[in-house]
Chains A and B, each alone.
Chain A
Amino acid sequence: MKDACEARGLEFVKKATYKWYGHHVGDYPMPKGFTKADLGKCEYAIRVPGKKDAYEIGVVKRRDGEEGYTFLYDFYSGGKGLVGKLFGDDPLGKSEFQKWNTTYPQRGDTPIRPLMQEYEAQVAEKFARQRVGEGFEFKREYEDNGDLRVRVFRETSGGGGGEHGGTL
């Protein structure tokens, strides 16, 4: 996650609290297993470097019975610069932010997606790097719509598909 944050121009830090409005006004439902008292507390935080007023993301253990972590963050008023940064500074990110900013009700899972996409790409590339010794190479590709593809591949010699009409 630290690498994914760096790739998206964000900072991942060990921290017990994250910055937000500070008061839950009940306009959006709480994530499953969390109460108002949990807001503002975290195990790690994700912040926007150079924007000291921007709200932060709290990274917390899930409480819905599944393993792993989830995010708590305040996206009201664009999280004072956080949400725009999550979407990204590129043209696609800017247009997605504009659309999100004028869509009601706004959805908290949408701004986090580019970061999660980067996280999944980092996981895929780590998997690929562990296979370089087996002759695999890897490449990251982007589609115009923002979809991301990691191709992990190796040339195989002979065999394989010959008898079946061939994949080689």
Chain B
Amino acid sequence: MEEIIITIPRNPNKPTTIEVNGVKGEGCKDLTRPLEQALGAVKDDKPTEEMYERPLKQRDQQRESV
């Protein structure tokens, strides 16, 4: 499952966070960019392990070229 979780705290001192699960590679950033632009400036960006994994299609293409 691909999932984006936007957590909006009631406390004004806590930041809104966007978490992406199940999207491999830099695709997660492309997916959330319009949302980040609409919500305001990004203060912190913590990539998950999944961001460093290559999407399956990309891996297959690499395998074919070997």
- Chain A residues whose C-beta falls within 8 Å of the C-beta of B57 in the assembled complex: 159
Which of B2, B40, B50 is in CB contact (< 8 Å) with A68? Answer: B40
Q: How many residues of chain B get a CB closer than 8 Å to chain A's CBs?
A: 28
- Chain A residues whose C-beta falls within 8 Å of the C-beta of B4 in the assembled complex: 151-153
Which of A110, A127, A153 is in CB contact (< 8 Å) with B38? Answer: A127
Q: How many residues of chain A get a CB closer than 8 Å to chain B's CBs?
A: 38
CB neighbors of A among B13-29 (8 A)? 16, 21-22, 24
Which of B7, B11, B38 is in CB contact (< 8 Å) with A113? Answer: B11
- Chain A residues whose C-beta falls within 8 Å of the C-beta of B8 in the assembled complex: 117, 120-121, 124, 147-150
CB neighbors of B among A117-163 (8 A)? 117, 120-121, 123-124, 126-127, 130, 136, 145-156, 159-163
Interfacial residues, chain A to chain B (CB-CB below 8 A):
66, 68, 92, 109-110, 112-114, 116-117, 120-121, 123-124, 126-127, 130, 136, 145-156, 159-164, 167-168
Interfacial residues, chain B to chain A (CB-CB below 8 A):
1-12, 16, 21-22, 24, 34-35, 38-41, 50, 53, 55-57, 59
Q: Which 4 pairs show the lowest CB-CB distances between chains A and B?
A: A146-B10, A153-B3, A113-B12, A159-B56
* 26 A-B contact pairs sorted by A residue (CB < 8 Å): A68-B40, A112-B12, A113-B11, A120-B8, A120-B16, A124-B8, A127-B35, A146-B10, A147-B7, A147-B8, A147-B10, A149-B5, A149-B7, A149-B8, A150-B5, A150-B8, A152-B3, A152-B5, A154-B1, A156-B2, A160-B55, A160-B56, A161-B22, A161-B24, A164-B53, A167-B22
